[in-house]
Amino acid sequence: MSTALVILAAGKGTRMNSDLPKVLHPIAQASMLEHAMRSGRALDPARTVVVAGHGADLVRNAVTEIDEEAEVVLQEEQLGTSHAVDQAREALQGFEGDVVVLYGDTPFVSADTLERMVAARTSADLVILGFEAADPGRYGRLVMQGDSLERIVEYKDATEAERALTFCNSGLMACDAALMFDLLAKIGNDNASGEYYLTDLVELARTAGRTVTAVACDEAETLGVNSRSDLARADALFQSKARAELMELGVTLMAPDTVYLAFDTVIGRDTVIEPNVVFGPGVTIESGALIRAFSHLEGCHVSRGAKVGPYARLRPGAELAEDTHIGNFVEIKNAEIAEGAKVNHLSYIGDASVGKASNIGAGTITCNYDGVMKHRTEIGARSFIGSNTLLVAPVKVGNEAMTASGTVVTQDVEDGALAIARAKQENKPGRARKLMDILRAKKARLVKGSE
């Protein structure tokens, strides 16, 4: 049976107090919408339709970056959840299969939960996702009779007995596409808010003699985000779960609460992560690496046995081979550092390649940008780059070559050669004292003139 996803992402999110559409606010370096779409991928959907409204152009651009095949439809007026889902009617015209409704601001529904919802469709026409709430508050209650869902009752309409129920409505559901759109056409807005509510599907389905059931999931999966405080709680929840999973897989986090992970961080077993390390998107760390304190990594690959930091920055395109050393206050960008090479102190290596077992001295800079174009620096194997060397790209340093400290390299250095390019030193006797006397006198005149 084919599955289509309809993801509701039209809300403005007034409580976020933001120009950014609510669903585009990030959790672990990915928007809530991306989390929802990634969860939905577990169903291998034939179609994905995102319903946008507020900030539709921004949402459309984000959707395209996540999944080029996903469709975006516009809900010009936000008239309720039923009205939102109905905006996908034309996009899914003729689709035969199940529709699963997700919410762009409910990012943590698991693949297992979605699969159980779809599996429950084999014995029920309409499946609602519910959860046992520790504090049910003003959630809508799911009134069950055995495996059958009798109705969804809103808190304000519930009796005291119904308010005592703890099985609550998440808003997610699965239904045959033809049946869903047939029932949606019958939903009215005769209520205090004048909105079209998706929850009315339950009563309409039962009136039509259809079977309705509910699937339960953990309450944390249904966490909705409506404010900055909710966003912070959601991010903390993600981090806590992700850290626990890494440690279960054999990764050492020396101070877990200080390590910040992205949604797609991959770290191999026996890797050690010291305190206060931040992972941006697109980071893969192989087994047995060491990431020292206060380092920041994004868009990079770190191989087995490599050591990074402390206070190192790996930017997109950084590729570290096995047993490399990247030390304190070193930045690597779009560069390959070959096996056993070392960049240990206060250096910038960008748009470059560093050969096997080479040593890059402190203060080395690859001057890769001319103000318009980026250029590459190539350093061969077993080379030694002296401290405070400036490599003005495009330039090549051969195998087993050296540069003297303070050298500005503007021409290629052949294999085995020593490059020296610095001005001749001259010592001027007594000139330092004279210069300081002049400067002090100038300062004194400025101070007197300001009085």
> Among all residues, which ones are annotated catalytic?
345
**Tokens of residue 69, six digits:** 């095949």
* Burial of residue 172 (number of CB atoms within 10 Å: 0-12, 13-18, 19+): buried
Q: In the 8-state DSSP scheme, what is residue 77?
A: S
> Where are any strands of DSSP class E within 77-221?
98-103, 126-132, 141-145, 148-153, 167-176, 212-217
CA distance 258 to 295: 12
Closest by Cα among 171, 180, 175, 59 to 106: 171
Task: Map residue 178 onto helix, strand or coil.
Answer: helix
| Among the listed residues 392, 385, 427, the one whose alpha carbon sits nearest the alpha carbon of residue 406 | 385
CB contact at 8 A, 321 and 303: yes
Alpha-carbon distance of 107 to 138, in angstroms, equals: 21
Angle made by CA atoms 412, 413, 419, in degrees to the nearest 5: 120
Q: Where are the alpha helices (DSSP H) in 21-110?
A: 32-40, 56-66, 81-86
Rg (CA), the chain: 30
Q: Which whole-number Å values give the CA distances from 390 to 311, 363, 401, 421, in the listed order?
A: 22, 9, 15, 10
